[in-house]
Structure 1
Amino acid sequence: MKNFDTKVFSKRENLYLSSIFFLYGLSILSLAPRTPDIKANLSVNNGTFGTLLSAASVGSIIMLLIGGQIVNKIGAKRALQISSAVIATAFITLSHTSSPLIYLIVNVIAGGGISIYHVASTGHTLHRQDEVGKVILPKLHGAFAIGATSTTAIAFFISEYVSIAWHITVLIIFVYLSTNFSIHKLSSTFSSNITEPVKSDASFFKQLKFKVNWFLSLGFFCGQIIEFIVTDWATLFGKEVLGMGASIATLCYMLYLIGVIIGRFSIGWALNHQSEQFWIKFGGVVGGAGFIGMLILSVALVEINQPIAYFLALFGFFLSGLGSAAMAPIFFSIAGRVLEGNNLMAVAQLTFINTILIFLAKTVLAWVAEVTSITVSLCISGLITCALFYFGKIGSKVRI
């Protein structure tokens, strides 16, 4: 096997590393378009189904508590291999089972596997960024977004003709084999020793209690909230609020993903022209204020001019994706610097705090949508995103 020059980020390495992120997006969002089939398999009501879906957060939170230590101990390569196997086994089981209890248990395990994969892949990428002196994480997050869009497109075309069991089984087996092929090809780029030791699990809990950078964590939350709320409510907004047809309503989420893809593939270029501070604030203005403005106008005009209302709504979701696209890679890079280069711990800690905050926010905003309207819930997420204009000060003032 040909080794890579670890001081150079080659096109071949970029291809294999991008494929790891692309396949990650392709797999972990594969069940989302087929939730009606899952619910039918389980024969449960909406309340029970929502509870079962949220179980993944439990596994995610548990593993994020110790994810940094696990990856540090066994290495990013081994962690990716194990977590990809856990995800594959769990998702195939979730697509076949008709037992709510089995679904609950396996979904918790799936959440844990996803968290370990996230910590290992992002931590390794930040390590490579340090070695080559080049920003590479944003484009890899773009590859993830393309994977997420692709899995939605696949489901759109085959859902009426292929059962969820066959769809997910074939897709996940392909993803698992392809992921491990890419990991094998990248073997020489993984660190051969542990350069960021963690003395004990207790040390992480001490960091969690006393050393969490809350300004950074809250800023990251403001940059991420719109992604999760749009994912939950975009299609329903188009269908129930604006009266779009079922197919057209899916364009709300599709335009959001297109904005994310454009933003993540452009941020490397953007950081050469403006600072992190500028782009974080840009995210607040465009992804927050721009999104709110377009939604309010679309709702106001839907009874007067439906085509214009549809266009404004779709443009608003595009702006939300464009504005929030670079927040995750930028904040992860900042976290690595703030925690003195301890990349794995930075990713695990920041993601852990954010997972809890997002879980609480999603629950509250779901009830806001129930008591008021979906529009209000989406606008509140936009207002939170606007706070990035304040939190932008944590970013670097100089161009990268």
Structure 2
Amino acid sequence: MGRAEKQALAAMFGLFGFGVMTLGPRMPDIKYNLGVSNGTFGVLLSSGSIGALISLLTMGHIVHRIGVRSVLVFSTIMMYGTLAIMVHLHNPVIYLILNLMCGASWSSYHIAVNAQAFHRQKDSGQTIIPFMHGFWTAGALGSAIVASLVAQTIPITWHVDTLVTVDFILTMFVIYLLRDVLLQGREITDSDGVVTLKDMAKSFKIDWFISIAVLCSQTLETMLGTWGSIFAREEIGVNASLAVLPYIFFMGGMIFGRISFGSLSKHWSEQWLIRIFPLVGGLTFAIFMYTGYLISKNHQFLGFVIVDFAFLVGGVGISFLGPLFLAIAGRRSDRPSGVIVAEIGALNQFLNFAAQVVLAWTIHLIGLPMMLVIPALMLAAVTFFAAAGKA
């Protein structure tokens, strides 16, 4: 695998992270435009998980027929097209439909670009998946930083429309650069992480232990992507630009944790890492986030600093759990890794949808700050799944 190809593929991941996370930091503006309650807003956003699930169940067959390039082009057009339209909407029903389409296109792009990366990793013998996912995280972090710089002065429509247009043009250009190496349908195998619904149905088997562990380890990240900026803006009372900072600290913590995982795994076992990191990350987030919220009522700056610290530690605690549990799932089964990943992905899209809806409506009963404690405790509970790792 040449350097130019590796850089171009990394750019695909980075642009993906930058573009698809554009709306995350501006969720307070989206919620205001739609004029809905927290519970209704949570239901609207969770429709993206349904779209992603539909894509996950059908895209394997489509990629096998038309190849990676066609899927990437179609997904890019739909994904950035829906993002550009959604920031102009005031009708919740239309937003729900477009968010479902956006979730489906996001999942399609994810499946196609990861299939390309897995295949090239296998052909080249180079371990490139962590590198590629690191670029995705860096892109998402860059998107949050841009939002922090412009949220106070530039309307959401100008901000998002400009960024997704630039991201769309650059993505299509990189797809063109990779046109000769992007996989044809006949070249794709189960080991590339692309599985048809028919293949999945033949041997569908739920590993509940790992599936629940993945759900508990990912729910906090999902909820903070939606509610982090809303929490800072509505509950702490900071301005639109500062409201993005907690999420930036969270993503920074995730990057630090993933970078450090290689060296940490040389000194401590998987079981120790799974036992300690989510426990410390989850409890620290819950305690410091809620403490910062209470302090902010009388000392806003101090409370906000404490909240930022909570988000940072939470990001470190969650950083490597998802990829690690998928690797563990592969070791626990004698079936192709692509089938296992597809099964866990499909089940967790459904579980994630249910969790988002329940937690969003929980806000009406206990408030947003206390609701965020729940996914933090779910993260801490991952410590009980440590037995799955290597001793």
> TM-score surpassing 0.5?
yes
Correspondences of 1:228-239 after superposition (within 5 Å): 228-239=222-233
Residue number among 160, 166, 180 corresponding to 1:174 in the alignment? 166
Deviation at 1:378, TM superposition (A): 1.8
Deviation at 1:212, TM superposition (A): 1.9
Q: 1 CA distance for matches of 2:179 and 2:288? A: 47
User: 2:14 maps to which residue?
Assistant: 22
Residue 328 (structure 1) aligned with residue 322 (structure 2): yes
Q: 2 CA distance for matches of 1:31 and 1:83? A: 17
Residue 205 (structure 1) aligned with residue 201 (structure 2): yes
- Structure 1 stretches of 4+ moved >6 Å: 197-200
Residue number among 116, 138, 143 corresponding to 2:135 in the alignment? 143
Q: 2 CA distance for matches of 1:307 and 1:176? A: 38
> Aligned Cα RMSD in Å?
3.3
Q: 1 CA distance for matches of 2:272 and 2:257? A: 14
Tell me, yes or no, if the aligned pair for 1:72 and 1:344 is still in contact at 8 Å.
no
Deviation at 1:324, TM superposition (A): 1.0
Tell me, yes or no, if the aligned pair for 1:225 and 1:358 is still in contact at 8 Å.
yes
Q: 2 CA distance for matches of 1:111 and 1:175? A: 17
- The one-character-per-residue Cα deviations of 1:35-94 (angstroms, maximum 9, x if unpaired) are 46556766x544665544333222112112223333344333433233222212322333
Tell me, yes or no, if the aligned pair for 2:152 and 2:241 is still in contact at 8 Å.
no
Tell me, yes or no, if the aligned pair for 1:301 and 1:308 is still in contact at 8 Å.
yes
| Closer/same/farther in 2, CA of residues 96 and 53 from structure 1, 3 Å limit | same
| Closer/same/farther in 2, CA of residues 332 and 344 from structure 1, 3 Å limit | same
Query: Is there any run of 5+ residues in structure 2 with no aligned partner, and where?
Result: none
Residue number among 105, 118, 139 corresponding to 2:110 in the alignment? 118
User: 1:312 maps to which residue?
Assistant: 306
Q: 2 CA distance for matches of 1:292 and 1:153? A: 24
User: 1:7 maps to which residue?
Assistant: none
Q: 1 CA distance for matches of 2:385 and 2:203? A: 22
Residue 365 (structure 1) aligned with residue 354 (structure 2): no
Q: 1 CA distance for matches of 2:237 and 2:293? A: 10
Residue 255 (structure 1) aligned with residue 249 (structure 2): yes
Q: 2 CA distance for matches of 1:241 and 1:285? A: 26
- The one-character-per-residue Cα deviations of 1:143-167 (angstroms, maximum 9, x if unpaired) are 2222222223333444566554444
Tell me, yes or no, if the aligned pair for 2:150 and 2:241 is still in contact at 8 Å.
no
Deviation at 1:188, TM superposition (A): 5.8
Deviation at 1:115, TM superposition (A): 0.9
Correspondences of 1:202-351 after superposition (within 5 Å): 202-208=198-204, 211-242=205-236, 244=238, 247-299=241-293, 308-338=302-332, 342-351=336-345
- The one-character-per-residue Cα deviations of 1:250-288 (angstroms, maximum 9, x if unpaired) are 322221121122223333444444444443334312321
The one-letter amino acid paired with 1:204 is M
Tell me, yes or no, if the aligned pair for 1:262 and 1:322 is still in contact at 8 Å.
yes
The one-letter amino acid paired with 1:201 is L
Deviation larger for 72-81 or 45-54: 45-54
SS state of the match for residue 22, structure 2?
A: coil
Deviation larger for 360-369 or 21-30: 360-369
TM-score normalised to structure 2 length:
0.83
Deviation at 1:339, TM superposition (A): 5.6
User: 2:56 maps to which residue?
Assistant: 64
| Closer/same/farther in 2, CA of residues 287 and 188 from structure 1, 3 Å limit | farther
- The one-character-per-residue Cα deviations of 1:333-392 (angstroms, maximum 9, x if unpaired) are 344555657454344322221222122112222233321233322222111111222223
Tell me, yes or no, if the aligned pair for 2:282 and 2:376 is still in contact at 8 Å.
yes
TM-score normalised to structure 1 length:
0.82
Deviation at 1:133, TM superposition (A): 4.7
Tell me the matched-pair count.
Answer: 386
User: 1:12 maps to which residue?
Assistant: 4
Residue number among 372, 380, 384 corresponding to 1:386 in the alignment? 380
| Closer/same/farther in 2, CA of residues 162 and 300 from structure 1, 3 Å limit | closer
The one-letter amino acid paired with 1:114 is W
Q: 2 CA distance for matches of 1:360 and 1:348? A: 19
The one-letter amino acid paired with 2:171 is T
The one-letter amino acid paired with 2:135 is A
Q: 2 CA distance for matches of 1:93 and 1:247? A: 22
Deviation at 1:129, TM superposition (A): 3.9
Tell me, yes or no, if the aligned pair for 1:123 and 1:344 is still in contact at 8 Å.
no
The share of aligned pairs that are identical, in percent, is: 33
Deviation at 1:241, TM superposition (A): 4.6
Q: 2 CA distance for matches of 1:306 and 1:95? A: 30
Query: Is there any run of 5+ residues in structure 1 with no aligned partner, and where?
Result: 5-9
Deviation at 1:11, TM superposition (A): 4.2
The one-letter amino acid paired with 2:76 is S
